[in-house]
Structure 1
Amino acid sequence: MSFAKPLSFVKRGQDEFSRDENAMTAVIEFLSAFILFLMLVTAFLSLAQLQLGPNTPDIDRLERSAVEAMDKLTGSEGYHIPFENGIKDVGNATVDWHLLSPEELNSGALIPGLLSERGRLSTMKVDSLKSLTEDTFSKGLGLNEDYDVRLLVRVESSPDSSRIGELLFDDGTHRNSSFSSVSISRTLHMADEVVLVSLEVHLGAGFTDKLLMTEIMIDPASGGPEWIELYNPDQFAVNLSGWSVSKITNGVVSAHELITSGVVPGESHLLLSGNPSIQQNLGDALVVDLGVSGVLGSGLIDSIESSGGHISFQYAEFNSALTYDLINFHWDNTWNINVGYSLVWNYGEFSNSSNWIPLEDGTPGSI
């Protein structure tokens, strides 16, 4: 036996179904509107070159600085303005900054733009990056003095397959020593090649300049000068202003020289000499006189002795009490140093005499 459902029960079920359907429709409409809102916000932020996320003001400034620096580097020919008595000599400004000496480049106002007059990367300007210190390069791009940089220039495509992947420049401060870092890259044409230019901007990385002591003449023959050879293994130049050399006797500084000028280009040598006027120079090395200060001697004046000694190199930041110990070189009578023989470092343990190879006459200023 069956019973028909009351009409009131059927009507109530239809009303509930209708309400559920309306609620579902409202939810779908809300979600659709919310998704559309997110799409509009994302599009706006993209146009404004912003992004959603936890970026701090420091990171935002770092990103803007990196973009602006890349524009100066790859969007112009750049220029150099020399200083005359502390005033910019605009009349002698030039876009051919790559033709200037390292000393000139690092003492004027420079924007290191890499483009040629045809709007492509200039091979000569890329090569001349080795004449710039990292500090000059960074300031030339308008970066804050608290920022450090790393620059990579690499061949991406070339008619010469052996050139693909070749690093034309790769130097600067590593990001793993910084608090924050931003990287930006562009590809440009250079002659018939395509080249990648990648710029990293770091916050809080600190001092990175270095020179390696590679050879020393302690007991020269025939009245020649004592000399020390240093090498810049990096591609950015090293500004010698703030570097100092000391001769230490019995634990006390007996002679000292504060270097106030000079630039050692990337992958180049520096010669410190007791008498530059008679100093042999087998390369195109910068020569600095340490004879006047007495750190090094010449002729009958022996400043350093073959029986033992200590030479120290330090760097002091401008207007700062902070000093970096860079090189400490000790030797004693067990080294058996012979007259007329230099000592050439073989890149082993620095303080071990077996890693300093005797070489007759030496090769000052040359590998």
Structure 2
Amino acid sequence: MAVPPRGALMRRDEQGVTHVIEYTLALTLFIMLLHSFTTTMEFRLGVDLDRQDQRYPAVRVVLGELTGSVGNASGVEAWETLEWGTGETQLRNGTTVGLLASDGVLSEAKCQALAKFPYGGLREELGINEELAIEVRTLSPDAQVIFWGGDLDSASISVTEERLLLLRTTGGDEVPAKLRVSLFEAPFVSDSLYLTEIMYAPTSGTEWIELYNPRDTAIMLSGWKLSDLEEDDLITGDETEQLSIPARTAAVIASNPTIFASDYPSVSYVF
């Protein structure tokens, strides 16, 4: 039997040692990365648990405020008749957002008026920094009265509390209903509007466009621009206004709002 040269045996030994060293280094690096990952996850889990613990009392506070009074906006208990950014008395001036009628049942009109609040606006009035969702549903039949807030379906973690109450509908009936409040963590979703109709160069009247808000909260128009080939027009109100479009509502931006309102008196939101 032929014996391999001594140099060949040494090369094999060196290659074996090299493989062992490479394997050891790779294993060490893997262990270090795994340790770093688990440490980060433990820290993240600890942060999430701390936030989760804070959400439980916070969601109860919100639920308590919504069901604790009829609400008030600068002395006006019928705050549901006011707007967020327009009018002499506005919802953005320190509103207590109570959803009850004077006899202690839920008011459908007040519940639906939540749609007038922009996302940041209502959270500010309620003193909440978390993502927020509010839903009211009747029990029989099972139907949604209002959903206001962020995208709860995309929430990575959430806390929900609910309360059963009687709801007085706008028609005067009283039905059992459920008020549900959720605080959660989810990706930010930017505002978007649909341009649904345009009237330009009319033979009479004024130029205007119609915008539709598909979101579940009001959208502020401050800072939005209307642009054509000639210029950019910044959408602004006067010093006391913050123009907004309520949730799932259309609004008209007109060159002359007074003329448009005279021609189309049934349109509620004309700027």
Whole-angstrom CA distance in 1 between matches of 2:80 and 2:255: 32
- In the TM superposition, residue 114 of structure 1 has moved relative to its aligned partner by 0.8
Matched AA of 1:242: G
- In the TM superposition, residue 215 of structure 1 has moved relative to its aligned partner by 0.7
Q: Are the counterparts in 2 of residues 151 and 198 from structure 1 also a CA contact under 8 Å? A: yes
| Partner residue, 1:189 | 166
Between the two proteins, the alignment pairs up a number of residues equal to: 212
Tell me: CA distance 1:80–1:205, structure 2 relative to 1, closer, same or farther (3 Å): farther
Tell me: CA distance 1:241–1:202, structure 2 relative to 1, closer, same or farther (3 Å): farther
Please show how residues 74-153 of structure 1 align to structure 2 within 5 Å: 74-81=67-74, 93-103=75-85, 104-144=89-129, 147-153=130-136
Whole-angstrom CA distance in 2 between matches of 1:189 and 1:176: 27
Please show how residues 237-256 of structure 1 align to structure 2 within 5 Å: 237-248=218-229, 254-256=231-233
Consecutive unaligned residues of structure 2, counting only runs of 5 or more, are 1-44, 169-173
| Partner residue, 1:263 | 244
Percent sequence identity over aligned pairs: 26
Tell me: CA distance 1:188–1:281, structure 2 relative to 1, closer, same or farther (3 Å): same
Greater Rg by CA: 1
Whole-angstrom CA distance in 2 between matches of 1:176 and 1:140: 24
1:230 counterpart = 2:211:
yes
Consecutive unaligned residues of structure 1, counting only runs of 5 or more, are 1-52, 82-92, 158-163, 289-367
| Partner residue, 1:156 | 139
Tell me: CA distance 1:210–1:74, structure 2 relative to 1, closer, same or farther (3 Å): farther
Whole-angstrom CA distance in 1 between matches of 2:182 and 2:217: 15
Whole-angstrom CA distance in 1 between matches of 2:91 and 2:219: 10
Whole-angstrom CA distance in 2 between matches of 1:56 and 1:231: 39
3-state SS of 1:69 partner: helix
Whole-angstrom CA distance in 2 between matches of 1:176 and 1:120: 29
| Partner residue, 2:253 | 272
- In the TM superposition, residue 63 of structure 1 has moved relative to its aligned partner by 2.3
| Partner residue, 2:198 | 216
Q: Which has the higher strand share?
A: 1
Deviations 1:249-289 (A, max 9, x none): 5xxxx33314352122233321122333433436323223x
Whole-angstrom CA distance in 2 between matches of 1:121 and 1:95: 14
Matched AA of 2:62: A
Q: Are the counterparts in 1 of residues 154 and 187 from structure 2 also a CA contact under 8 Å? A: yes
Please show how residues 170-189 of structure 1 align to structure 2 within 5 Å: 170-189=147-166
Please show how residues 268-347 of structure 1 align to structure 2 within 5 Å: 268-279=249-260, 280-281=263-264, 283-288=266-271
Relative contact order (C-alpha < 8 Å, sep 6+): which is higher?
2
TM-score between the two structures when normalised by the length of structure 1? 0.52
Q: Which has the higher helix share?
A: 2
